[in-house]
Amino acid sequence: MNEPILLKGKPVADAILDGVRQEIEKLKAEKGIIPGLSVVLLGDDPASATYVASKERKSKELGLNSQTHRLPAETSQEELLELINNLSNSPAVHGILVQAPLPGHIDYNAITLAIDPRKDVDGFHPVNVGRLVIGLPGPLPCTPAGIVEMLKFYSIATQGKRAVVVGRSMLVGKPLSNLLAQKREGGNAIVTIAHSAAEDLGAITREADILAVAIGRPKFLGPDMVKDGAVVIDVGINRVDDPEAKKGYRVVGDVDFDAVAPKSMAITPVPGGVGVMTIAMLMQNTIASARGDFS
C-alpha cells in the first residue's frame, strides 16, 4: 500500500488564471480590448447546463465580455448556423464555444466548420486539429491541454514513458494522445490509444506509466487494469444516483478511485482533478484569441 500524490486541479488552474487576469488588464490598458466569449447551449441537459453556468461565472468574474446563448433543443441547424456566422463576424467576439453534446438532429461537424478557426477556443475546427497534429501553434482543446499543464505543474516526466489513453473522442482522447506524443515539454511519450474494441484492454492499460481514462463510464477502471506506480489521470465526470446526496446524485470518475489510488504513484481525484482545468484553459484560449495569437 502506498500513499499516492493527489493531483489536484485547483493550484494549477489558479496559476493559469493569475496569468489570464494579468493579460486581461494588459489588453484593456494597452489596446482597449475586452476579450469576448460567446457560449452556445442547446436544450436543457442538466450536466451541460452546469458546465455552461460555470463557464459564464468564471468569465464574469474575470471581467470578460461574455454572452451565453441558451436556445431550445428544437433549434434548427440553419438557425444555429446563422447564429454562429453572426458570432464569427462580430468584432466583439473573440471566442465561440458550442457546448457538446448537441441534440441528434444537429450535425456537430457542420457547426464546428462554421466557426471562424481564429475564434475556435475549443480547438475543434479541422484547421486547428490539423495545426495540433503537425505541431503548429493554435488553440488547443481545453481538457487535454489542461491535463498536459497538470503533468508539467506536478513535474510528472512524460519523455520516453508509456502513455495509454483510453477513449478516442474528439474532445479528449484524440487530442490528448496527440499532445502526449508531441516532441516537446509535457510530451515525447510513447502513446497508445485504446478503446472499447480492444480485445484485452487490461493488457494494454497495465503497460502504462501514464494512464488517462476518458470514456464516460463510472468507476470503469479497476486496480487489475493498472500497473503498480502508474500515474492515473481520470477525465470522467459521471453523475450517479445517490439518494443520500443533497442533489440526489454524486459525481464519480471513470476510475474506481478508492481501489486504484493505493496502486498509483499519482492520481487525479474526481471531483477536484482535471475538471477545473477545462475552464482555465478556455479562459486562456479566449485571451490568446483576443490578443490575436490565432490570426
Stretch that binds ligand GUN, among 58-66, 95-103, 215-223, 261-269 (CB under 6 A): 95-103
The single residue of 116, 120, 122, 234 carrying the catalytic annotation is: 122
Nearer residue to ligand GUN within complex by CB, 264 or 285:
285
- If one asks whether residue 254 binds ligand GUN (CB under 6 A), the answer comes out as no
Using CB under 6 A as the binding rule, the residues of this chain from 155 to 184 that contact ligand GUN are 171
Told to check if 66 binds ligand GUN by CB under 6 A, we report no
For 96, the 3-state DSSP assignment is strand
3-class SS of residue 24: helix
Q: Is 50 left (phi over 0), alpha (psi -120 to 50) or beta?
A: alpha
**Least CB distance from residue 51 to ligand GUN, whole Å?**
6
Instruction: Please pick, among 58, 99, 209, 263, the residue that the annotation labels catalytic.
Output: 99
Q: How far apart are CA 170 and CA 113, in angstroms?
A: 14
Does residue 256 have an active-site annotation?
no
Pick from 105, 16, 88, 106: nearest CA to 97 = 88
SS (H, E, C) 248-263: CEEEECCECHHHHHHH
Interface segment toward ligand GUN; rule CB under 6 A; list 79-87, 93-101, 256-264, 265-273: 93-101
* Pattern 197-216, ligand GUN, x by CB under 6 A: --------------------
Q: Is 99 in the site for ligand GUN (CB under 6 A)?
A: yes
Give the separation between CA 128 and CA 258, rounded to whole angstroms: 38
b/e per residue 221-253 (b: at least 16 CB within 10 A): beeebbbeebbbbbbbbbbeeeeeeeeeeebbb
Catalytic, 58? Answer no
Q: Smallest Cα–Cα separation from 140: which of 150, 130, 152?
A: 130
Site string for ligand GUN, 113-132 (x = CB under 6 A): ---------x----------
Q: Using CB atoms, what's the residue nearest to ligand GUN? A: 100
Q: Is-catalytic flag, 182?
A: no
Residues at the interface with ligand GUN (CB under 6 A):
51, 97-100, 122, 142-143, 171, 278
Just list the catalytic residues.
55, 99, 122
